[in-house]
Structure formats: C-alpha cells, structure tokens
C-alpha cells in the first residue's frame, strides 16, 4: 500500500532537498521526495510527491503542510490520487468515484442517420401536426 502525499502550490525554486530539510526539521519521515519538473525546461511545475513509510506518518505530513504559508501562498497537502488516463487501458472508461459507470455518449444528428422506429403515439402526433 502506498502512503504518498501530494504537496502542491510550491514556488518553482523548491527542490527535493528543501522538502527533505523541512520534513527533518519537523521530525517527519519520508522514504522519497520527487519534485515534478517540466521535461523541456527542467523548471518545477509547483508540486511534489512525498512517500511516507506509514499511514500515520502520511497524515502527520498532511497536517503539518496543508495550508502552511510559504512566501505569498498557502501550500496544499493531501493524499495523492492514482494517475488518470495513462495507465488505464485505451477504450475502457475508468470507473466513476461514485460507482456508477459512465457510458460513452452516442452521437446525435448527422446526414447518414438511420430513421429510428417511432412509437404509435409519436406517429399519431406527427400526423396531427
């Protein structure tokens, strides 16, 4: 089981070493820290992932850093969500959080649309109009 914290709203100058120092100063433990960077410029995207060894440690990191002030911003810390889209098989919709499966929408309109059979009521209504 993964105990990963999403740490967001970071200034672009923040490095993994900075985060490790902050954690150490608070007597918090992390197995790994990864600051996410732009592939082309190598500039920080403003968020990082912190892997905690236990659920209790993850919760302690979240309590300490969520809404903590840094410069002119408030940091965000919460449990990381699994990645969307990349790992999911193509063509298979991901399950919805509420358990209701999202079905793909059907296309509407179009010139080559086959006529749909009408109910007796719809046929009578069309005659009256």
Please indicate, yes or no, if residue 112 is contained in any of the structural domains.
no
At 21-67, the pLDDT tens digits run 999 999 999 999 999 999 999 999 999 999 999 999 999 999 999 99
Please indicate, yes or no, if residue 50 is contained in any of the structural domains.
yes
52, 29 in Cβ contact below 8 A? yes
Q: Which domain, by its residues, includes 39?
A: 4-79
Q: Read off the CATH number of the domain in which 74 is found.
A: 3.30.70.330
Please indicate, yes or no, if residue 103 is contained in any of the structural domains.
no
Provide the percentage of residues in the chain whose pLDDT is more than 90: 61
What's the confidence (pLDDT) of residue 69? Answer: 95
The pLDDT mean for the chain works out to 81
Please indicate, yes or no, if residue 104 is contained in any of the structural domains.
no
Count of structural domains within the chain = 1
Is the pLDDT at 120 greater than 90? The verdict is no
């Amino acid at each position: 089981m993964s105990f990963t914290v999403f740490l967001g709203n970071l200034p672009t100058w923040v490095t993994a070493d900075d985060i490790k120092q902050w954690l150490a100063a608070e007597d918090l433990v992390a197995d790994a820290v990864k600051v996410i960077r732009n592939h082309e410029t190598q500039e920080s995207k403003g968020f990082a992932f912190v892997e905690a060894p236990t659920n209790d440690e993850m919760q302690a990191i979240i309590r300490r850093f969520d809404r903590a002030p840094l410069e002119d911003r408030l940091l965000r810390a919460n449990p990381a969500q699994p990645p969307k889209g990349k790992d999911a098989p193509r063509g298979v919709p991901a399950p919805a959080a509420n358990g209701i499966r999202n079905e793909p929408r059907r296309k509407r309109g179009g010139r080559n649309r086959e006529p749909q059979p009408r109910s007796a009521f719809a046929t009578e209504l069309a005659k009256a109009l």
